[in-house]
Each structure stands twice: as structure tokens, then as C-alpha cells.
Amino acid sequence: MHKRTHTSQTGRIVVTPPGKRRVNRRRRNWHRTIRRVCAVALVVEAACLLLANPYLRVTHVRIEGLQTLPADQIFSEAQVPKKTNIFLMAARQPFVKRLQVDPVIDHVSRAIELPHTLVLRVVERQPYTVLSANGGYYVLDRKRVPFRLVETPPTGVPVLALEGDMDPSTLALGKPIGADWLVQSYKLIALLGAKKNLEAKSIKVDQNANLCLNRSDNLQIKLGQPEELPAKLAVAQETVTAAGENAGARIAYIDVSCPSQPALMPRPQSRPASR
């Protein structure tokens, strides 16, 4: 087997052992490295120019989506810093987090309009029901979050009247209520949306979590435990439909706590006065 040989510049013959190869190191391309460094420097310089440009500072703040909250309150809660670069403002989170602490606000998004306008889009919570507890009325949204304490319940939303008192810590504004009776009550409200003749003015919840609907004509529909709600509502709807108009004037309550054996209590008819 022949050994590999090569001749050096001095004329000596150097023998390379078998299995070993001479590694040729590539020379570093300094031109490419310099070009990359220059590109990074240009980007940094351009970013500095954009951030230091006085024509790109926020001088106007526009708030959109407000329904019940006053704009002055939002400006005060946001605490938007003045004369801040608009690109830095778009990346900042603190003022958005400060706004979302307000229990009435569901979420906030932001946008920029060059050269100097910051847009805050506020989405307020919408009333879904009103919880009557601890001597007050708490307005709740679809996520079971109480966001406002009012003296009188707003019209158009059912009232959940809870017997007994709740732990005040569970009624903190802006924090969802996870009680099982409230979860079941929300399911009932969702089911009532498709049954207009059962539309409840209020829903009573006793200490044992029994549910009772109260229509505006004082007709009560006793549902009992929050089980088999679709079947119970179907029986109640058939009964009310069969009773016709002014059902509340003739029926005191309908008990469908056992849907297979419903019960009905008529109202006592007043007798005409004797002459």
C-alpha cells in the first residue's frame, strides 16, 4: 500500500500517515462580517431616529366604545403618559391593565394612527341578570361577573332573588362568582330565552337551591331542584299555553318540580258583593 506524500516549499518530502488528512482552514470573510455589522448599526440608528422623532409623539388620545362610563374617568384611570413615542406607546401594557381593573370594563384594545394619535377601544360589560343579595342589587354579565352595584334593578333583565346572605368576599366587583346555584340559574336563563310565555320577571333561589319563576302577572312556576330543566320548562310551557291569556289571573302557581306529575293551584275567585 502506497503512502501519500507531498513536497514542501523547501523541497523536503513529507510523508502523511494513512487515515489522516490535512485540514485546510478557510480564511474568515471579513467583508461579510463588516457588512453585517454595518446593517445592524443602520437598523439601530433608524430605530433611534424613529423613537427620538418629535413628530411621532402621542399628542391625541381617542377613546371608542364607551356606553355608560364617562370619558374623563377613563382618561384618569388610564394615566396615558404625555409626549411618549407612539411606537413605544403601542408596545406598552400598564395603562391597558389599569383600565381593565375597572369592573365595568370587559377588555381594552389599542391601536395607533400615525403620526400622533393613540386609539383605545373599550368594551363594557353588558347586563345579563341582576343578583339581589345582602340587601343590594348586583348587575352581572354573561360570565357571572358582578360589575356594578345599583339601587334599583335595570329593566329588561331578570332578577335573581337569593334567600339568605352571601359571603361578602364572593360579591367582589370584577370577580366571577363560581357558586353552583348561580351556574344552574344561568342555564335556566339561557333556556328561558326560547320560551317567551315563560319569560320571568324574577327567579327566586331558596337556601336549598330550589328555583321558582315569577312572571310579571304574578304567576309562579316552581321548578324545584335544578335538574331536568328542559323537561320541566316544557311541561310548564304547555300548561301556560293551555291556560290562554291572563293565565296569572286564574292560576296561582304551577309546580313542575316533578315533571311527570305536575300540579296546578288555581286562584280563589272573588265573589260578587251581596246587595
Evaluate the CA torsion angle 26, 31, 32, 33 in order and state its sign: positive
64 contacts: CB under 8 Å, gap ≥ 6: 119, 120, 121, 122
**Distances, alpha carbon 77 to alpha carbons 43, 74, 153, in Å:** 36, 5, 27
Whole-number Å distance between alpha carbons of 138 and 11 = 100
**What is the structure's pLDDT at 74?**
87
* Grid cell of 169 as nine digits: 368576599
Nearest-CA neighbor of 147 among 164, 172, 167, 166?
Answer: 172
> Cβ distance 208 to 217 under 8 Å?
no
Q: What pTM, to 2 d.p., does this model score?
A: 0.74
What would the pLDDT profile of 116-137 be if each residue is shown by its tens digit?
Answer: 888 889 999 999 999 999 889 9
**Residue 11 pLDDT level (bands cut at 50, 70, 90):** low
Read off the DSSP letter of residue 154. P
3-state secondary structure of 57: strand
The predicted model gives 39-49 an average pLDDT of 64
Nearest-CA neighbor of 204 among 195, 216, 213?
Answer: 213
**Residue 212 pLDDT level (bands cut at 50, 70, 90):** very high
Residue 44 or 220, more confident: 220
**Distances, alpha carbon 213 to alpha carbons 158, 163, 232, 246, in Å:** 10, 14, 12, 17
Would the pLDDT of 7 be above 60? no
What would the pLDDT profile of 239-265 be if each residue is shown by its tens digit?
Answer: 988 888 888 888 999 999 999 999 989
Residue 241 or 141, more confident: 141
What would the pLDDT profile of 58-105 be if each residue is shown by its tens digit?
Answer: 778 888 999 999 988 888 888 877 777 777 776 666 778 888 899 999
**What is the structure's pLDDT at 222?**
95
The predicted model gives 227-237 an average pLDDT of 93
Name residue 17's amino acid: P
Read off the DSSP letter of residue 10. T
**What is the structure's pLDDT at 23?**
56
The predicted model gives 135-150 an average pLDDT of 94
Mean pLDDT of the chain: 82
The total number of residues written for the chain in this structure: 275
Whole-number Å distance between alpha carbons of 153 and 171 = 16
Would the pLDDT of 184 be above 80? yes
- Residue found by looking up cell 485546510 in the block: 24
Name residue 47's amino acid: A
Whole-number Å distance between alpha carbons of 132 and 139 = 9
**Residue 155 pLDDT level (bands cut at 50, 70, 90):** confident
**What is the structure's pLDDT at 194?**
79
**What is the structure's pLDDT at 91?**
67
Whole-number Å distance between alpha carbons of 120 and 146 = 23
**What is the structure's pLDDT at 256?**
94
**What is the structure's pLDDT at 15?**
53
Whole-number Å distance between alpha carbons of 3 and 22 = 14
**What is the structure's pLDDT at 123?**
95
In the chain, % of residues over pLDDT 90: 39
> Cβ distance 68 to 127 under 8 Å?
no
Range with lowest mean pLDDT among 16-25, 138-147, 177-186, 233-242? 16-25
Would the pLDDT of 197 be above 70? yes
Whole-number Å distance between alpha carbons of 222 and 163 = 15
What does residue 256 show for φ and ψ, rounded to 5 degrees?
Answer: -120, 25
**Contacts by residues 135-144 (CB-CB < 8 Å, ≥ 24 positions apart):** 138/171, 138/173, 140/177, 141/106, 143/176, 144/176, 144/177, 144/178, 144/182, 144/183, 144/186
**Alpha helix locations (H) across 61-200?**
71-78, 86-91, 94-100, 180-192
**What is the structure's pLDDT at 49?**
54
Would the pLDDT of 274 be above 60? no
